[in-house]
Every structure is written in C-alpha cells, then in structure tokens.
Amino acid sequence: MIALLTRDLRLAVRAGGGFGLGLAFFLIVVVLVPFGVGPQTELLSRIAPGILWVAALLAALLSLDRILALDYEDGSLALLATSPLPLEATGLVKAVAHWLTTGLPLTMAAPVLGFLLHLKPEGYLPLLGSLALGTPALSMIGTFGAALTVGVRRGGLLLSLLVLPLYVPTLIFGAEVVRRGAEGLATTTPLIMLAGITLGCFALLPFASAAALRVNLK
C-alpha cells in the first residue's frame, strides 16, 4: 500500500493533475467573487464561508477523472486488480493520494484566501477544521465515482454529475461550521456531522469502489 501511495503521489505531482490545478482554480474563484458581488466588506464576510467551501469542492472535482483513468489507460489498473492487494485497499489508497495532492493543499491555502474575502478572524480555525474533516470525504466519494465511470469514454462529465449530489451534505455541514465559528456560535453539532460523513465514507465506499471496479474490469 505504501508503494502504491508513493507511486500515485509522484505521478500526481509529475503530471500536474492535482496540486497545481486545484490550487489555481481555488485562487481564481475566490479572486473573482469580489468582482462579481462588489467590494462591500460586510457582504463578502457574510458569504465567505459558502464561497470558500464551494470553491474547494469544485477544485477537488477537477482532478477526479485522473484518479483511475490514467491507470486504466496504461493497463496498471488491470495489474492492480490481479495483485495480492485487495481492490478495497487500492480504492482507499487512491482516495488518500487524491486528498494529499488536492484536499490538503486546499485546506492549507484556505486561510489566506479567506483573508481576501474578509472572513472574520473567529472563522479561520473552524475553516481549517471543517476542510480537514470534510475534504477526505470528497476524495473518497470522488474515488467511488471514478470507479463507476472508469473505462467510460469522456466520462468526466458523467463523473461530475454522479458525485455532485453526494457532495451536498459535506458542503452544507462544512459551510455551517465556518459560518457558526465566524459568528461566535457553537460548532460542535456540524463538526460531528461532518466527521460522521467522512468516517462513513471511508467505512463503506472502499467496498463499493471495489465492487464497481470488478464490474467495469470484466
């Protein structure tokens, strides 16, 4: 598993499919928002939690089709399916690699971009916490969607349509954590819900991803 994770990290950095692309899109969305809604500090501060989470979600969505597509095209996925490593573990490693190259950089960059949207100081820690808890779920759900569409020609659009509805609960609770934190309210309940979603995804979706891969690789 460590060897597969290291390989995926190297490929992601070398191909530029995760780290740079996601961060660039995240930055562009956040920078463009003030041009669209105006420079009013109060308005930007109020919508910052939702904008930051939507931008992070869409940035994570950009690289989902690369999670399994490249391995499928060069035959590596077929070799992984016949290796001693279970497909459930393969799906889990793919999700972790995607999070390390996409979700983690987005989480680390979010406070800087929150400053551009005049996010209240009280909201920075909840922003970091919510993204750290929620982005792994985005990666795991995205891996499941990639397993469903692997081998489908031009399946990027289909993949987006499949995973976007599954992303909604994470988006709702993640933005709610930041909003409550910025307003000085208790964030315990949405944080627990967010953690529950992430744990549920990692408990169930590796098996669902493996089942989808076995069907598509037949």
- List average pLDDT for each run of 10 residues in the chain, which is 218 residues long: 76 63 88 87 91 93 82 79 84 91 91 91 94 95 91 77 93 96 93 96 94 85
Burial class (CB in 10 A: 0-12, 13-18, 19+), 93: buried
What domain range is 91 assigned to?
Answer: 2-216
Q: Distance between CA 137 and CA 107 in Å, rounded?
A: 13
**pTM for this one?**
0.91
Q: What domain count does the chain have?
A: 1
Please compute Rg for the chain using Cα positions: 18
For residue 19, the model assigns a pLDDT of 62
For residue 58, the model assigns a pLDDT of 92
